[in-house]
Structure 1
Amino acid sequence: MSQIQYYGYNKCSTCRKAAKWLSDHGVEFTEHAIVDNPPSQAVLKKILASGEYELKDLFNKSGVLYREMNMKDKLPAMSKADAIKLLAANGKLIKRPIVTDGAKHTVGFKEDQFKATWG
């Protein structure tokens, strides 16, 4: 298994719960601040290629930036490439945390999903 990459935001309680779960279960990971160092376009494309997530699932729909940019109305008209480029440039638009080892991925934190994927 490749090194696990964790993209989170330390002020987010969901991200803190996810990081704690990984640590408590002995899962080693490299942490990235999602706002300063969002996942690359290549990482986002791999997540989408897995078939487990749709493009809209990668957006933080409850985020301030999502609302300020009126993404609810803009997203349906955007190309997939433009949406991925936008996400890779704006970590606050991305649903968090993202955990990936290149083959397996989780977006957001649900304990049962973490257990099945990383446990």
Structure 2
Amino acid sequence: MAKAKDSVTVLAYAKCSTCINALKWLKSHGIEPQVRPIVDEPPTSAELAKWIPASGIGVRKWLNTSGQSYRALGKTKFDAASDAEIARWLTEDGKLVKRPVLVKGSQVLVGFREEAYAELFG
């Protein structure tokens, strides 16, 4: 089996409690992901082109609506934006991305729900 398929990457923010909880869950289940700092290395356009469809949720569900970056731009601006604009903004500001983003092969989870992680690694 190809190593890339088995590898797990988590895009996370060190001060994010949800990211911390997700990484603790993974560690407690013997999974050592590659952790990528989402603020320093936000998803690229090419990654989002693959990951958004793989996640099964629309680009607007990728937005961290409780974050400072989102509040600074304002809900009205996001409501008026196209999906392509939102995807571009996600590549420019990692704090706009709902996190953590877990990538395992062709499977992508956005946010942390224990049940979803258990199903993916079960």
State the AA in 2 paired with 1:14: T
Secondary structure, in 3 states, of the residue corresponding to 1:84? helix
Residue 77 of structure 1 is matched in structure 2 by: 80
- The match for 1:117 is 120
Give the match for residue 21 of structure 1: 25
Cα offsets for 1:19-51 (capped at 9, x unmatched): 111111122311111111111122222222226
Map residues 15-94 of structure 1 onto 2, 5 A cutoff. 15-50=19-54, 52-70=56-74, 72-94=75-97
- Could you list the runs of 5+ residues in structure 1 that have no partner in the other structure? none
Task: Give the paired residue count.
Answer: 118
Q: Is the 8 A contact 2:39 2:94 kept in 1?
A: yes
Q: 1:99 aligns with which of 99, 102, 105?
A: 102
TM-score w.r.t. the length of structure 2 is 0.88
Per the TM alignment, residue 77 of structure 1 is displaced from its structure 2 partner at its CA by 2.3
Contact 2:62–2:97 (8 Å) recurs in 1: yes
Question: Structure 1 runs of 4+ off > 4 angstroms?
Answer: none
Q: Report the alpha carbon displacement of residue 101 of structure 1 after superposing the two structures with TM.
A: 2.3
Using structure 1 for the length normalisation, give the TM-score: 0.90
Give the 3-state SS of the residue equivalent to 1:50 in structure 2: helix
Q: Which amino acid aligns with 1:42?
A: A
Q: Give the gaps of 5 or more residues in structure 2.
A: none
Instruction: Kindly report the root-mean-square deviation, in angstroms, between the aligned alpha carbons of the 2 structures.
Output: 1.4
Aligned-partner Cα distance in 1 for 2:109–2:119: 10
Q: Which moved more, 1:109-118 or 1:37-46?
A: 37-46
Counterparts of 1:51 and 1:31, CA distance in 2: 18
